[in-house]
Structure 1
Amino acid sequence: MRRINIFASFIAAALVAVSCGGPQKMADNASLVNYKVTPDPLETHGGKVALSVDVSYPEKYFHKKAVVTATPYLQYEGGVTELKSETLQGEQVEDNFKVISYTSGGSFSYSDEVDYMPEMMRSELYVKGKATVKNKEADLPPIKIADGIITTPLLVNKEGQTISFGDNFKRIVPEEYVADIHYIINRYDVRNSELKQDDIVGMSDFIKKANENERIDMKGIEVSAYASPDGPEDLNTKLSGNREGSASRYLKRDLEKAKIEVPEDEEFFSMMTTPEDWDGFKTLMEESDIQDKDLILRVLSMYSDPVVREKEIKNIAEAFEEIKVKILPVLRRSVFTVKVEKIGWSDEELKQWVVDNMDTLNLEELLYTASLFEDNETKLALYGMAWEKHPQCIRAANNVGVTKLAMNDVDGAKKAFEAAKAIRDHNIVKNNLGVIALKQGDVETAEQLFSAASGAGEEVNQNLAIVKIIQGDYDAAKSLLGASQSYNNALVILLQGQPDKAYEMLNGMKGEHAMVDYLMAVAAARGDDKDTMLDALRAAVAKKPKLKEHAVKDIEFAAYFEDEAFKGIVQ
């Protein structure tokens, strides 16, 4: 017991000696000061290295008349970066700095941030200082207080996703030809003068050419016969039926004369009659310049009984010559609608045209055919020709830009996107210009463009998430990425402290890219799974040997720096 008391007395005396000593004593006992750094190891987020330090001074350490200036600094190969200094004072100093008690010691909290530089990846955080008591000074020795720097956020895939415009190519294009025959009032015979009208002559020619063209498929012919709404219902019913019959007979004779064989079934020939064409009457009246036409239609619409309405129309026609001469005669007709389908080139035929003479292809064919090829040279040739032939086509200009960017022609892509924007300020183009800005390191402009491109496609959210990761806003990035199975989403999940979930997502993408394996190794290291970490890291460097240089400095693997298996992979 006596020996313990003697030892305690010795320690107390030593502390008194320290407290009573000058600044040199404080320097000699600098290791008694406790530093707790957060985070440790240091991390970079949003291009910054932010840290906080809780400093505790022991009892009887801080001289009552001392002024201490402490300066943290990062030391790394080839350089030093100092953080802001902090000045403290003893309790008998008359100044406005933080006071540390000699008797009971004290503590203070410190925080600062510096811009991250690549040289800092493998660095150490030290604190140095100077103690002054009156006219005596002593340098406090540098003390290492943390390691750094975890740079995992910088593993973000910054390759933005461009958006191409689609095409309007249709391999089968429906087409119709419409012609009509007009009749004299209360008659249904087809007059020769009607058969000489341009639309009827054109219909015969249309059917003949369609029949001769193997790329045109005749789908059907409709015959719709009408009577004007100014006659008795019974008469109009018979009249419209007879007009349908006379029109159909003419059509069939014309087909026989041209030696054109068509199906006789009802699916091909469709017949329809309208005894009183009230809808047609209303349409023609609305399109006419007849005075009081609106009033006339309102009055006639009041009569739901067709018989009464017929009588009123006849009376009005007597009062309005234009209705009698220009409206009602047009409604006494049979309408032919010839339906065909134009069959376009097959994919193989389109590809062959690229070899033979792509100039043969129209705009939609050029845009569609480009999507059939994997090689960018052919894509660019097709989109380029589309743009050359149609200089105001935003789709062609934009897709030229997308293809050039895929070929790493950033300047050429930017010019094409800017030309597309000059044609029309479209959100797809804004997104693509944002990808260019991101690639050129202009994150602020990229964010503005992506934000303005909302609604252009899911690619916009993926791109904006890249910006948020770069800025260190991982919650916003996760909101944008949702449940998407992507490398960047796995990175965000990892940065949010869920290494197991991140590894699971990455495992579903295994084999796609070296960085997927590398991030799997980081996730496994955070989960203290050495074997899985080594396997993933081995796969990563096998695909991309340059990753060895990164891994050997990556603080994520600090616990394994001296591990022989780890060194065997990265050296």
Structure 2
Amino acid sequence: MIKKMYLPLLAIVVVALSSCSNKMGELSADYFTCTPQVLEAVGGKVPVTINGKFPEAYFNKKAVVEVTPVLKWNGGEAKGQTSVFQGEKVEGNDQTISYKMGGNYTMRANFDYVPEMAKSELYLEFKASKGNKVITIPAVKVADGVISTSELIGNTVGSANTALGADAFQRIIKEAQQANIMFLIQQAELRSKELKSEGIKSLKEQISAVDAAENMNINNIEISAYASPDGGVSLNEKLAGKREENTEKYLQKELKKAKVDATVDAKYTAQDWEGFQELVSKSNIQDKELILRVLSMYKDPEQREREIKNISSVYKNLADDILPQLRRSRLTLNYEIIGKSDEEIANLAATNAKELTVEELLYAATLTNSAATKESIYTKATQLFPNDYRAYNNLGILAYQAGDKAKAESFYKKAASVKASPEVNLNQGLLALAKGDKAAAETALGKASGTQELNEALGNLYVAQGQYERAVNAFGDTKTNSAALAQILAKNYNKANTTLAGIKAPDAYTDYLKAVLGARTDNSSMAINSLKSAIAKDSSLASKAASDLEFAKYVTNSDFLKLIK
């Protein structure tokens, strides 16, 4: 009787156990961990690593389970790559999970960031089957929201330092004019022929013109008298000195006659080896390299002269073609041209820009802080000097700083069509970053070598690419919003605080970054006060702060709640 009852009971237990092994119901969130625990946008992506576990006595031996990470927000979702798992009795190449022992697994997802993800939830969705039978496993929520602080680069790059098409204006331009008086061998007398040469005539005319001009000054007139390096040091010492003396007497007489008061500085060189070497190196004379080698080997002037004379094949050419050019007095008029004053330039830029050079007109724009006045000046520059890229570039900067990306792009393209300069390329790179096009930004900045602002611009690019430490190094001690953002993302909070305090023209995003820094360093007064200042400057930041997980700890703070309403 007992045996008859035992067999049906055993069958019921086996069926029951078999039925239990087929269940594969709801999974607890405790079986899953996410890294990072709070999702974060990095370089335009939201990366996450999910470590999951199928518990013991759960995975049906004949089941196949597909697991897909899905990031959901109001009105949309993004799916990651699906992973497939199989039971012990399934023939396939997917990861096998033991029914008795269960099993661990790791999944990775990398979602393309969109702003709506700030208020989102990460789920794991399951699609399970046993043969033709569908098994329902409810989705499991494994994470909340996405920290999107890195995406602020799209806003902070707008205050980055751009590359101006700078003017080359010089108020004082130094000029010089030279003329030579040539001498016969071993003579110091000034010849009438030389004093009537076109060079001397032109020099005297220029001296008088500079002296008479209101916007010119004579600094001095230099006399440098020389003797050629042949004939011995003692002879040449006297000869060069006499040439200097005679030339100075002549010049002083001419200055007195022209009623010009100018400083005359005179000197002489007994043996002009430097001039000799220069003339030989530029000549096509035979054995030129041998002569130059002698000059480099011997420093004693007499030995140099002997060695060169020993090269009998070329010495006659030297005596005929080179040495006569060294028997001279060189007169140099050093003077300066004094440009227009700032007041004159600013007035002409406003009333009669045609009277200004392109350098003066571009310089005029630096004399005002008014964006409207700068725009007017640069516009005139494009009209008067259409083949100069700088005014178009600078108009693009004004548009960029005003937030008009389309207008900035138009001006930058025009500037590039005139000349694709490093400055234009850098500005186009910053604009591409502001538009979210990292590939175009990288290409443009790769052509911006030589610009002072390049490291800073690259810092902005590295933030956008998620390379935070590299960005911090590129920024150095630059005091901008983007530099502070990089330091916050790299968790270098002390440096970020110093940077934010040093920004010369803080804006709404400067304050917003201070608020983020305050929240991350548990400085609630800094967080709330800075956020208040940011919203006062830009009211749209209230809604951003409301969904920003950087401020999650303040969701019950009454001061915070008042700000985001």
TM-score range, shorter chain: 0.7 to 0.9
What letter corresponds to residue 567 of structure 1 in structure 2?
A: L
Task: Name 2:200's counterpart in structure 1.
Answer: 200
Residues 387 and 289 (structure 1), Cα distance of their counterparts in 2 relative to 1, 3 Å cut: farther
- Secondary structure of the residue aligned to 2:348 is helix
Query: How is 1:36-185 mapped onto 2 (pairs within 5 angstroms)?
Result: 36-91=33-88, 97-129=94-126, 132=129, 137-156=134-153, 157-159=156-158, 161-183=161-183
Instruction: Say whether residues 1:347 and 2:342 are aligned partners.
Output: yes
Q: Tell me which moved more, 229-238 or 239-248.
A: 229-238
Alpha-carbon distance between aligned partners in 2 of 1:81 and 1:322, rounded to the nearest angstrom: 85
Task: Name 1:555's counterpart in structure 2.
Answer: 549
Instruction: Say whether residues 1:358 and 2:353 are aligned partners.
Output: yes
Task: Name 1:10's counterpart in structure 2.
Answer: none
What is the Cα-based RMSD across aligned positions, in Å?
Answer: 4.2
Q: Tell me which moved more, 244-253 or 65-74.
A: 65-74
What letter corresponds to residue 329 of structure 2 in structure 1?
A: S
Alpha-carbon distance, 1:351 to partner: 1.6
Task: Name 1:474's counterpart in structure 2.
Answer: 468
Residues 198 and 382 (structure 1), Cα distance of their counterparts in 2 relative to 1, 3 Å cut: farther
Alpha-carbon distance, 1:111 to partner: 2.6
Instruction: Say whether residues 1:447 and 2:446 are aligned partners.
Output: no
Q: Tell me which moved more, 559-568 or 229-238.
A: 229-238
Alpha-carbon distance, 1:126 to partner: 2.9
Residues 42 and 16 (structure 1), Cα distance of their counterparts in 2 relative to 1, 3 Å cut: farther
Alpha-carbon distance, 1:552 to partner: 1.0
Task: Name 2:264's counterpart in structure 1.
Answer: 269
Q: State percent identity of aligned pairs.
A: 37
Task: Name 2:209's counterpart in structure 1.
Answer: 209
Q: Give TM-score, length-normalised by structure 2.
A: 0.81
Deviation per CA, 1:501-553: give whole Å up to 9, x if none.
Answer: 54454344497122222222223323344333222222221222111111111
Q: Tell me which moved more, 276-285 or 534-543.
A: 276-285
Alpha-carbon distance, 1:62 to partner: 4.2
Alpha-carbon distance, 1:99 to partner: 4.2
Alpha-carbon distance, 1:391 to partner: 5.4
Give the aligned length: 549
Q: Tell me which moved more, 540-549 or 394-403.
A: 394-403
Alpha-carbon distance between aligned partners in 1 of 2:415 and 2:391, rounded to the nearest angstrom: 8
Query: How is 1:115-514 mapped onto 2 (pairs within 5 angstroms)?
Result: 115-129=112-126, 132=129, 137-156=134-153, 157-159=156-158, 161-183=161-183, 188-227=188-227, 237-262=237-262, 268-277=263-272, 280=275, 306=302, 323=319, 331-383=326-378, 386=381, 393=388, 395=390, 398-406=393-401, 410=405, 413-414=408-409, 416-418=411-413, 420-421=415-416, 426-457=421-452, 459-499=453-493, 502-503=496-497, 505-509=499-503, 512-514=506-508
Alpha-carbon distance between aligned partners in 2 of 1:308 and 1:102, rounded to the nearest angstrom: 100
Does the 8 Å CA contact 2:349/2:361 hold for their aligned counterparts? no
What letter corresponds to residue 360 of structure 1 in structure 2?
A: E
Residues 32 and 432 (structure 1), Cα distance of their counterparts in 2 relative to 1, 3 Å cut: closer
Alpha-carbon distance, 1:163 to partner: 1.3
- Secondary structure of the residue aligned to 1:371 is helix
Q: Tell me which moved more, 545-554 or 388-397.
A: 388-397
- Secondary structure of the residue aligned to 1:168 is coil
Alpha-carbon distance between aligned partners in 2 of 1:283 and 1:566, rounded to the nearest angstrom: 78
Alpha-carbon distance between aligned partners in 2 of 1:236 and 1:497, rounded to the nearest angstrom: 74
Q: Tell me which moved more, 58-67 or 110-119.
A: 58-67
Alpha-carbon distance between aligned partners in 2 of 1:320 and 1:525, rounded to the nearest angstrom: 88
Does the 8 Å CA contact 1:23/1:133 hold for their aligned counterparts? no
Alpha-carbon distance, 1:130 to partner: 5.1
Residues 135 and 539 (structure 1), Cα distance of their counterparts in 2 relative to 1, 3 Å cut: same
Deviation per CA, 1:374-407: give whole Å up to 9, x if none.
Answer: 3344434544555555555455554454445445
Q: Tell me which moved more, 148-157 or 63-72.
A: 63-72
Does the 8 Å CA contact 1:173/1:343 hold for their aligned counterparts? yes
Does the 8 Å CA contact 1:229/1:310 hold for their aligned counterparts? no
Does the 8 Å CA contact 1:499/1:523 hold for their aligned counterparts? yes
Residues 320 and 23 (structure 1), Cα distance of their counterparts in 2 relative to 1, 3 Å cut: closer
Segments of structure 2 that go 5 or more residues without pairing to the other structure are 1-12
Alpha-carbon distance, 1:149 to partner: 1.7
Alpha-carbon distance between aligned partners in 1 of 2:58 and 2:304, rounded to the nearest angstrom: 115
Does the 8 Å CA contact 2:157/2:433 hold for their aligned counterparts? yes
Alpha-carbon distance between aligned partners in 2 of 1:144 and 1:281, rounded to the nearest angstrom: 88
Alpha-carbon distance between aligned partners in 2 of 1:517 and 1:19, rounded to the nearest angstrom: 63
Does the 8 Å CA contact 1:500/1:523 hold for their aligned counterparts? no
- Secondary structure of the residue aligned to 2:147 is coil
Residues 19 and 452 (structure 1), Cα distance of their counterparts in 2 relative to 1, 3 Å cut: farther
Alpha-carbon distance between aligned partners in 2 of 1:480 and 1:241, rounded to the nearest angstrom: 59
Segments of structure 1 that go 5 or more residues without pairing to the other structure are 1-14, 263-267
What letter corresponds to residue 353 of structure 1 in structure 2?
A: L
Deviation per CA, 1:433-455: give whole Å up to 9, x if none.
Answer: 32233334321121122234344
Alpha-carbon distance, 1:124 to partner: 1.7
